[in-house]
A = this chain, B = another copy of it.
Amino acid sequence: MPSSSPAGHNRQRASGPAAFPGSSTVRGIHGRIRHDIVTLKFRPGERLSENELSLRFGTSRAPVREALIRLVEEGLIEVLPQRGSFVSRISLAAMERARFVREALEVAIVRRTAEQGLSKTAQEKAHAILADQEKVQGEPEHFTLADDAFHRALADDIGIAQIWAVLEREKSQFDRVRFLSLPSATPVAVLIDQHRAILDAILRRDPGAAEVAMRVHLSEILKIVEKLAAEHPDLIVKDL
């Protein structure tokens, strides 16, 4: 008989850990492995042993497996049955797909913010983030966080729940090349100017200009990727 069960509650979950099904053990393992992949501590192509990982985390293989499944879903791991689990190589095809998706979504987002206006709190937040970006110009890792924060602030303001989650899924592809590009000279000042151009266009309520500014900004990534693909042929598979 129909069970009148819950599953209907959609209130914002508690801060921090929430928004996620598996146990906190699985979440922790997933996060740590993901971090090690994105920061290239686990290099593309490297084999990850479930046994070894479970040993490292002090658990059995079960939680590790469940974390790996999620990473497969994110495209960061590839599993070959009976052979091993491998850190997926950075794929130019995957990068182009991620860029296409991100551009389509972020353009749609800034157009909407420019059309319906940015909320007061979002305006303050955006300005604060831009100020912060200037402050941490010299620290690439901090800037990376502030960069994400800017894009996320815009996404969060259009009133569509979890839209950032969709972008974040695709973004994992970028994160590795972004980490790769930290040493090489990234013109951070240019990026900040582009952020400012995007925000200005939004505040001017000019969707067309906002779209153009966002496209210009996102095309910056492409340049970096192409340069890095030449520098790191072992990490990046040119499958275009």
- A residues neighboring B (CB under 8 Å): 2-8, 10, 18, 21-23, 43-47, 62, 65-66, 69-70, 72-73, 77-81, 84, 86-89, 91, 93-94, 96-97, 100-101, 103-105, 107-108, 160-163, 166, 170, 237, 239
* 9 residue pairs bridging A and B, Cβ less than 8 Å apart: A5-B45, A7-B86, A23-B81, A69-B70, A73-B73, A97-B161, A103-B108, A104-B104, A166-B170
Q: Which residue of chain B has the shortest Cβ distance to A99 in the bound complex?
A: B160
Q: Are A69 and B21 in contact (CB under 8 A)?
A: yes
Q: Are B66 and A69 in contact (CB under 8 A)?
A: yes
Would you give the shortest CB distance from A169 to chain B, in whole angstroms? Answer: 9
Q: Are A80 and B162 in contact (CB under 8 A)?
A: no
Q: Are B162 and A2 in contact (CB under 8 A)?
A: no
Q: Are B104 and A108 in contact (CB under 8 A)?
A: yes
Q: Is the interface of A mostly helix, strand, loop or mixed?
A: mixed
Candidate in A3, A7, A87, A108 with the most chain B CB atoms within 10 angstroms: A7
Considering the chains assembled together, what is the distance between the CA atoms of A185 and B63 in angstroms? Answer: 47
Partner of A66, one of B65, B89, B97, B101: B65
Q: Are B86 and A5 in contact (CB under 8 A)?
A: yes
Q: Which residue of chain B has the shortest Cβ distance to A73 in the bound complex?
A: B73
Q: Are B237 and A10 in contact (CB under 8 A)?
A: yes
Considering the chains assembled together, what is the distance between the CA atoms of A84 and B105 in angstroms? Answer: 34
Considering the chains assembled together, what is the distance between the CA atoms of A73 and B47 in angstroms? Answer: 24
**Chain B contacts of A237 at CB under 8 A?**
8, 10
- Supposing A6-B80, A72-B21, A86-B5 touch, asked if A163 and B93 sit within 8 A by C-beta, the answer is no
Considering the chains assembled together, what is the distance between the CA atoms of A46 and B77 in angstroms? Answer: 32
Considering the chains assembled together, what is the distance between the CA atoms of A62 and B62 in angstroms? Answer: 9
Considering the chains assembled together, what is the distance between the CA atoms of A162 and B94 in angstroms? Answer: 8
Would you give the shortest CB distance from A54 to chain B, in whole angstroms? Answer: 15
Q: Are B100 and A108 in contact (CB under 8 A)?
A: yes
**Chain B contacts of A2 at CB under 8 A?**
43, 46
